[in-house]
């Protein structure tokens, strides 16, 4: 793990020109968008910057899916990247840190500073003000947390697909969602109603001596267990699975190139 800071520095020097261009474009986008809203008038609730960050997070997923295109999948740079005197898990750790932690944290800080600058300029020249981008918004950090989970999937897609990484990953996600929907339907049917048919008439449910609905309470307990298991799979098992498969994909590429 001692090579990770060096790899992060290498990644920064490779991507700094692109990051500067992306930052300038995002700031110009925010400035022009707010400039138009000063004259048209912003009619939404809360801060408009909270909506803009969704677009920037989507751009981050595009870049995440392309992270291996210039290294592992590049005929020009593949051998040099695979021959780096570091382990595969260190190469993967750098990608995870860069795309799942550093990028969203930097994006939140960038959006906050941009809102200060833009609204400060607006206070000098215009009278239409909106709330600043809030770092205390729980919905913001929920978006960031979901982005971290999604980035693990798009990192996996970038490792497997040689071209059109983002589009192919999105198509794979759609197929995965269809499978999960079907699996969830079967799981709910088996877990909730394995003991018998679901009573179609709600008024036919019997009340016990304590005045409770036994069937309803049993369904609630099973639903609570199922929701907790789903949360565990989504927040813990799923990203670990994606990162593990990505690691073995890197090892496979190293083996094929006799590294």
> Which tens digits make up the pLDDT trace of 67-117?
998 888 888 888 888 888 888 999 999 999 999 999 999 999 999 999 889
Predicted TM-score (pTM) of this structure: 0.82
Question: What was the pLDDT predicted at 98?
Answer: 94
Span between the terminal Cα atoms of the chain, in Å: 19
Question: What was the pLDDT predicted at 146?
Answer: 95
Question: What was the pLDDT predicted at 192?
Answer: 59
Q: What residues in the chain have per-residue pLDDT under 50?
A: 197-213
The residue ranges of every structural domain in the chain are 4-256
Q: CA 11, CA 5: separation in Å to the nearest integer?
A: 10
Question: What was the pLDDT predicted at 258?
Answer: 54
Cα separations in angstroms, 208 against 211, 212, 215: 5, 6, 10
* CB neighbour burial string for 137-169, b if at least 16 within 10 angstroms, e if fewer: eeebeebbeebbebbbbbbbbbbbbeeebbebb
């Amino acid at each position: 793990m001692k090579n990770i800071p060096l790899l992060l520095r290498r990644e920064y020097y490779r991507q700094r020109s692109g990051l500067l261009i992306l930052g300038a474009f995002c700031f110009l986008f925010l400035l022009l968008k707010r400039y138009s809203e000063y004259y048209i008038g912003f009619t939404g609730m809360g801060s408009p910057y909270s909506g803009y960050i969704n677009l920037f997070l989507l751009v981050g997923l595009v870049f995440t899916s392309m992270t291996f295109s210039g290294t592992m999948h590049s005929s020009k740079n593949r051998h040099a990247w695979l021959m780096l005197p570091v382990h595969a898990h260190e190469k993967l750790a750098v990608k995870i840190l860069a795309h799942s932690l550093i990028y969203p944290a930097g994006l939140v800080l960038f959006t906050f500073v941009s809102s200060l600058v833009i609204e400060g300029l607006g206070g000098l020249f215009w009278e239409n003000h909106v709330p600043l981008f809030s770092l205390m918004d729980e919905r913001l950090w929920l978006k960031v947390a979901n982005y971290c989970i999604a980035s693990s999937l798009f990192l996996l897609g970038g490792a497997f697909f040689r071209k059109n990484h983002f589009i192919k990953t999105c198509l794979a996600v759609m197929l995965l969602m269809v499978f999960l929907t079907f699996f969830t339907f079967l799981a709910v049917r088996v877990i909730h109603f394995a003991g018998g048919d679901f009573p179609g008439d709600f008024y036919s449910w019997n009340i016990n001596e304590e005045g409770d609905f036994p069937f309803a309470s049993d369904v609630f307990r099973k639903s609570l267990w199922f929701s907790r298991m789903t949360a565990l799979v989504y927040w813990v098992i799923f990203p670990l699975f994606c990162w593990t498969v990505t690691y073995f994909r890197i090892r496979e590429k190293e083996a094929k190139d006799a590294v």
